Amino acid sequence: MEWLEVSTENCTVQRTLDVVGEKWTMLILRDAANGVRRFDEFRRHIGLSEAVLSDRLRKLTAAGILVTAPYREPGSRSRNEYRLTRKGWDLWPVLVALRQWGETYAPDPEGPVLDLRHGECGAPVRVVVECAEEHVALTPKEVSARPGPGARRLN
């Protein structure tokens, strides 16, 4: 069975995009990965409406990507902070890959807004696709893609 003969109705990329494939969602995840926790901080830093932010935070929490933790400022009512779960942190390489692509093809003339470096040696951080056994970086030409066990024939 060839790729064009495969139905994409159960595609994992499509299901992932159903959860995180919206611009504001990815920006919330970017900020959460960089330490933003509170509703007002997300709203102020990203610049989106309260309604959209509430909707995206609710969806990310329902999907298990964020978890809420209560906090209370002195003299104020209890509120929730939002923290990435393990599932949320597993999206971090996607954010790094998007940043890497942007630095290559849509760079700011003044340089990157965020400089990611390895804490121990100080070298820049990059995302690569590698062989699970040999741990060597691969190019698209070195990878074969074929229908997997969940592939269904297109009707």
* Residue found under tokens 């999206």: 91
How much is the pLDDT for 103? Answer: 95
Span 3-142: which CATH code? Answer: 1.10.10.10
97: nearest Cα among 133, 127, 141: 127
Q: Does pTM top 0.75 for this prediction?
A: yes
**pLDDT digits 0-9 by tens, 77-119:** 999 999 999 999 999 999 999 999 999 999 999 999 999 999 9
How much is the pLDDT for 67? Answer: 98
Q: List the domain boundaries for the chain.
A: 3-142
How much is the pLDDT for 2? Answer: 84
Residues of the chain with pLDDT under 50: none
What whole-number distance in Å separates Cα of residue 42 and Cα of residue 34? 11
How much is the pLDDT for 87? Answer: 98
Dihedral, 59, 15, 37, 89 alpha carbons, nearest 10: 150
